[in-house]
Structure 1
Amino acid sequence: MESQRDPHLWKQAKARVGFRMHFRSYLVINAGLWLIWALSTSFLSGSFTKQLFPWPLFAMLGWGIGLAMHYVSVYNWAGKERSMAEQEYQKLLKQSVS
């Protein structure tokens, strides 16, 4: 018999898995972009002595900001949101009783 899942914990678990998948995609794709940059630079200049501007930095920076925001929303705010909602609920209960 399958045990009942706590819906809040299940939602949090799915969010954490989603972040891990996002992080893996970030690593794999950015590694590929750096590889493309390194190979194209070596073919264009003939050696690694004269390098072109490292354009993969733009992708890493932009996507990294989004990844950091995703991390904060999943790991830092998940518990606080529930406690804030419960505090607000208690406040509304007190107001409705008065």
Structure 2
Amino acid sequence: MENQRNEYLWRKAQNRAAFKVHALTYVLVNAGFWGLYLFMSMQPWGEHIYPWPVWPMLGWGIGLISHYFSAYGNLDQQKMAEAEYQKLLRKEYDSD
């Protein structure tokens, strides 16, 4: 007997796995940016280099936070859609 997958839970699991890959990529790439910044600042010409890796970290961090809330947040889109559907049904029946 083969178990049937719950499609909603499967999508949620895939989204959470994608977030973990996204977070790992964020950490590795930004560590590389800071390593490059450190290397550049140690050069004779780089003693006054602006810490530019802050900007990709902030910009990408906003996207990462958004991805986190879509994967782990309490906003259950399926439950919210069901509640809205029930409101619309009540409104439809009340207008008759």
What's the TM-score once normalised by structure 2's chain length?
Answer: 0.83
- 1:4-23 → structure 2 map (5 Å cutoff): 4-23=4-23
- 1:57-96 → structure 2 map (5 Å cutoff): 57-79=54-76, 81-94=77-90, 95=92
Structure 2: runs of 5+ lacking an equivalent = none
Quick one: distance in 2 between partners of 1:44 and 1:77? 51
Which residue in 2 is equivalent to 1:35? Answer: 35
More helix by share: 1
Aligned length, in residue pairs? 94
What is the CA distance between 1:40 and its match in structure 2?
1.3
CA RMSD of aligned residues (A): 2.1
Quick one: distance in 2 between partners of 1:16 and 1:57? 26
Structure 1: runs of 5+ lacking an equivalent = none
Moved over 2 A (4+): 88-98
The percent identity for this pair of structures is: 43
What's the TM-score once normalised by structure 1's chain length?
Answer: 0.81
